[in-house]
Amino acid sequence: MNYRDLFELSGKHALVVGAGSGIGRAVAAGLADFGASVTCADVNAEAADAAAGEVAARGGKADAAVVDITQEAQVGELVTGLSKLDVVVSTPSINVRKPLLDVSVEEFQRVIDLNLKGNFLVMRAAGRRLAEQGKGSLVIFSSIRSQVVEPGQGVYAATKAGTLQMIRALAAELGPKGVRANAVAPGVVETPLTAQIKNQPSWYRAYAEKGALGRWAQPSEMVGAVVYLASDASSFVTGSLLLVDGGWTAVDGRFTPPL
């Protein structure tokens, strides 16, 4: 065996949900670089097209799809409509940074609908498809907030912990059918979701200093984890949480944000 081949994704088709920006966009390009053909799905049609175009410009194969993962029918149609499916990656999330006592029911519902319900719908539809064919890898983005929390992150953290527990349950349920299910937990990554923090230098710097590496991550630094979990290199890995957090949870500091 040539161990380099363990990471090869040629002949596989990957669906990347949230491919229009940030981590999802980097992941789509990364999977394609390792040989996978990719469906770049996003709620924003223009962003999905741009992501697919970027993959093509790098010499890869990609198409674009529009999906709102809070809509059951749309998720089902996307997953069942693909002629081939080997890898599913889901990245979308939103956050409302407020003390828990100040969070409105509407804000709570909005975060729950996308982060928890939306990813549940992706897991369910993809899990059914992969289980029927008896193989596949499902990778859902959780967060360090599934493990640690701070003021203002209560609802977001609850959704990320819930996502992780659903992945673990799915791994147990689908393991006998040949399907693997894992979660990735980023630390602080420069994406549109974290733009609010970057715009406040003291907050941005404090988060950088909380990690062992003393800096923020770029979306491209999440690609290696996904390629690993998508490929045969992780053939005996399921039900896991892969921390890609620059040592945040190991250092175990605390920062109270300016809410």
Please, are residues 38 and 55 in contact by the beta-carbon 8 Å criterion?
Answer: yes
Q: What are the phi and psi torsion angles at 215 (to 5°)?
A: -155, 170
Residue 212's CB: how many other CB atoms inside 10 A? 14
Please, are residues 40 and 87 in contact by the beta-carbon 8 Å criterion?
Answer: no
Please, are residues 181 and 119 in contact by the beta-carbon 8 Å criterion?
Answer: no
Q: Answer yes or no: 156 catalytic.
A: yes
User: How does 168-198 read in b/e, with b if 16+ C-beta sit within 10 Å?
Assistant: bebbeebeeeebbbbbbbbbbbbbebbeebe
Residue that has been written with the tokens 């907050």 in this structure: 203
Catalytic residue among 156, 204, 207, 228: 156
Got the DSSP string for 92-135? ------S-GGG--HHHHHHHIIIIIIIHHHHHHHHHHHHHHHT-
Residue 216's CB: how many other CB atoms inside 10 A? 20
Q: Among all residues, which ones are annotated catalytic?
A: 156
